[in-house]
Structures are given as structure tokens and as C-alpha cells.
Structure 1
Amino acid sequence: MGAKGWFILKLLMFQGLFVSRPQEDFDFFYLVLQWPGAYCDTKRACCYPTSGKPAADFGIHGLWPNYNGGSWPSNCDPDSQFDRSQISDLVSSLKKNWPTLSCPSNEGFKFWEHEWEKHGTCSESVMDQHDYFENALKLKEKANLLQILTNSGINPDDGFYSLTKITNAIKNGIGFTPGIECNKDPERNDQLHQIYICVDTSGTEFIECPVLPRGRCPSQLQFSKF
């Protein structure tokens, strides 16, 4: 590039016209589903929501826009604040399928607000607030992870199961390879904690993951009771 070309490039950058990609742009979603037994079986505090102990099932952690390179956008629109009136028809389903386990015990609105403002606002180009939560609920139902695992003899009974067996069971069930994330309980057992399923930019269809999460699990992990 000659001196003239560099000058034009610098001028465009200075004027704010040279942008590699808009912040709200993204390549795919992670649907992140969390096993409550593993969340609660750690040294940090766990509180059941005000509606009571959730069902022994995977709960939604979030629907997170991501880039193919492994990074992600966040808090894309500070002006787009969470409005609970927009999801009034979804609250009962959210309490069941997207329960909060943080302390102190609460209804879940703070959790949903955090997820919308950090992650959901980065997907406003394809879905509004109601669609964001509704799509996540539909995807969770579509995945039906607990049924997939129990059908393969993988049960939340504090037993230890092969990471390969867990991964293959989910892959066979949904048609795509999941990402698996573990944590450790106070006895230092590695536990099945979160499962990442990749979703297209419409937020409706599962796809093969362009990149898997960085979390690593050992070859054997515990599927804890809840």
C-alpha cells in the first residue's frame, strides 16, 4: 500500500468510518444448559427460588451470542433495559425452565435481567426481548437433555460416567456435538455442570459448533444428585 493509501486508511479510521464489524454482529449462539445439582454442590452458596426447589432437570443459563473466533459481544445496548412486562406470558415457564439458584432466594427476575442486558441486547438485530426468552425456552424443550442422557443409562445418581459416552449420547440425540463444562464439588470430584449447544443466528435451529467452549473435563465425571 502506497503513502496515499495509508493516508486514506488513517483518515477513515480517524473519522470513525473504518469498523471491522459492528458490536451487535455475531456468528452463532451458545444455548447453555446447567445441571442444578452441580451448581449447588460446590463451596459457593446455593438458594432455591421463592417458588421452591426446582425440578431435577437441566435449567437454562443463557442464550449467548458468540463469534467464530471464540470471543463474544456483551452489553451491546445500555438503553435496552429489561422490561418484565414484555415477558409476562412467559414467567411461569421461565420459573420452571430458567430458575435462579443465586442467593438470597428470589423470583428470578434479576437473573433474567442480567442475561438480557449482557447477552440478549447483542441479538436485537434478530429478536426482541420476548423472542429472546421464548426462543431459549423452545430450544431447551427441543434439546430435552435429561431424557437423552437417561435413555442412554446416564442418570443423576452421583455415579461416574465416561465423558465420551455423555458427549456421544447428546450428539446422537440432537444431531450435533455439544460442549461439556465441569466443576468440582467440595470433595474435588469433577461433575457434569453445563452443556453448550450451538444455535444458528436466527436463534431457532441447532448447528455444529464453530468453536467449543474452553472448559475441559476429565475422562470420567460425576452426574450429581439433585
Structure 2
Amino acid sequence: MQTQQTNNWLHLGISSWTTMASLNLVTLLCFGLVVLVNSYPSFNRHENQWTKLILTHHWPKTLCTMEEVSCQTADKFNYWTIHGLWPDKGQSCNRSWHFNVNDIKDLLPEMENWWPDVLHPGTNEFWKHEWEKHGTCAAVAESLNSENKYFAKALDLYKKVDLDSILKKFNIVPSSKYYSLDNIRSVIGSFYKVKPKIQCVSPSQGEAVQTLGQIEICFDKEYQLVDCVEYEEELPNSIDDLFVFESAQQSEFSICDESMPIYYPPAHEEY
């Protein structure tokens, strides 16, 4: 009888220990899941249902002129460089997902060539700004869901578009002569079979010529070319978007004026 009671108590003890161990395991698993979920980048999906990506090119010489500074690197970058890859909706979608230059170490040689900061060379602040403002919103797409993927895709699209070569092919080159908006738009539209968005810097008071500054080429979520919409309300396109220009309110990009000639400044022109 005593042996049977001992066995019963032993059985109950083992059962209790097993139950407690199981509960502890479940608790640990739940805790780990919570930590994993909380550590994964979160998005404001309501504000980030984008349908279009805007590959924005800017002309380095124009940027330097707008800032009224001498850009020592402007002569080096005598080709169109990347301003950014922007979803058509959403900005700064995850403020906790900070830029880490180590995540794009393999891309840095190309970044420095095709996506330079012409005003503040040698820093990462431009890329940091573009990632945190636009990249974190683009990242809801699986093909863009990391810092490396985002910048790599922008570089890939930039090289495929090859805007600089296409403009040169059709004799749209930096020059002292002027171009019409229709001329530039027709060249881009006829080659890519989509409508670009072409932006200029408005003339200073007393002048009658606008300066070519920025060209946008648009893609859908499958990275097929689509028309860009020429509305100022679609996405902030002022020079304020660039972190380096946030204190410069005197000039901004706007849709080029159909009725006004366009100046496409040579990179080596003296100020």
C-alpha cells in the first residue's frame, strides 16, 4: 500500500513537473515571438499603399547653381545622377528603421558614381535621408524590403534607363543654346514610350529662361515603365526634399513652362 502511494505521488510529481515545463516552454516561445515581431520593421500600411515608383534624376550643375555655391565635384559629375527612388505615396514610413551604411558596402563604388552628394561629398547623409524618407516606404514590396535591395534596385533601374546616353543620342546635350520643353519631352517619350516629368528652376527676376534641373521616369510595382503624372500635388518635388537644401527656400523645382525656353547648363561652365 505504501509503495502504491509512493508511486502515485511520484507520478503526480512528474506530471506536475512536465506541465510546468510545458507552460514555461510555451511562455518562452510566446515571449520570443513578441520580441521578434517588435524587432521587425513596422510600417504605416494605411499611408503606404503605393502603386508607382519614381526614379528621379537631377543635373548636378543645376543643383550647385541653385545653392549659389562652388561645387568642386560638379565638373566630375557631368552626367545625370540619381536624386532618389520614390514611392508615389508615403514618407518616413518607419522612423525606427535607421540607415546603416554597412548594409550597402558592396554598393558603395556605384553609389559614389551614380548617386553622389555633389554638395557634401564624402558623407552618407544624402543616402540616409533618401532611405529613411522614401526607402522605408518602398520596403513594403518584397523586392525592396531591405536597405541593400532598395539601393540596388535604384541603381539597376538607373542603368537600364540610361537617361544620359539617350539624351545625347538625340542631341539633347548641355549647351549655351536653348531647348523647348516639347523637344526634350518628345525625345524621352518617343524612346521610352511613356510620359516623363520634366522639372526646371524658374528664372530669376528679369530673366526669361528656365534651367533644366530634374527628370522623373516612372515604374509600376513590376518595374515596367509607366507614365508619370504631371501634378505638383502627386509628390513633393521641391528642392526641400533634399536634406541638403532644406534651408534653401529661394528656389525649387517645378514643372517646366511650355512657353519658356530651357537652358541645359554645361558642367564646366563658370558661375
Structure 1 length-normalised TM: 0.79
1:62-211 to structure 2, matched below 5 A, reads 62-66=84-88, 72-102=89-119, 105-126=120-141, 127=144, 128-184=146-202, 188=207, 189-202=209-222, 204-209=223-228, 211=229
Deviations 1:10-53 (A, max 9, x none): xxxxxxxxxxx61232121111100112112235335345xx85
Matched AA of 2:101: R
SS of corresponding position for 2:226: coil
1:34-49 to structure 2, matched below 5 A, reads 34-45=58-69, 47-48=71-72
Bigger-Rg structure (1/2): 2
The structure whose RCO (Cα within 8 Å, separation 6+) is larger is 1
Paired residues, what number? Answer: 196
The aligned counterpart of 1:218 is 257
Aligned 8 A contact 2:99 2:128 in 1: yes
Q: Choose between structure 1 and 2: higher helix proportion.
A: 2
The aligned counterpart of 1:9 is none
**Matched-pair identity in %:** 30
Deviation at 1:165, TM superposition (A): 0.9
Aligned 8 A contact 1:48 1:100 in 2: no
Following the alignment from structure 1 to structure 2, what is the Cα–Cα distance between the partners of residues 31 and 101?
18
Is there any run of 5+ residues in structure 1 with no aligned partner, and where?
Answer: 1-20, 67-71
Matched AA of 2:221: T
**Deviation larger for 151-160 or 133-142:** 151-160
SS of corresponding position for 1:136: helix
Matched AA of 2:168: T
Aligned 8 A contact 1:163 1:218 in 2: yes
Following the alignment from structure 2 to structure 1, what is the Cα–Cα distance between the partners of residues 191 and 151?
23
Matched AA of 2:227: E
Structure 2 length-normalised TM: 0.67
Following the alignment from structure 2 to structure 1, what is the Cα–Cα distance between the partners of residues 226 and 138?
17
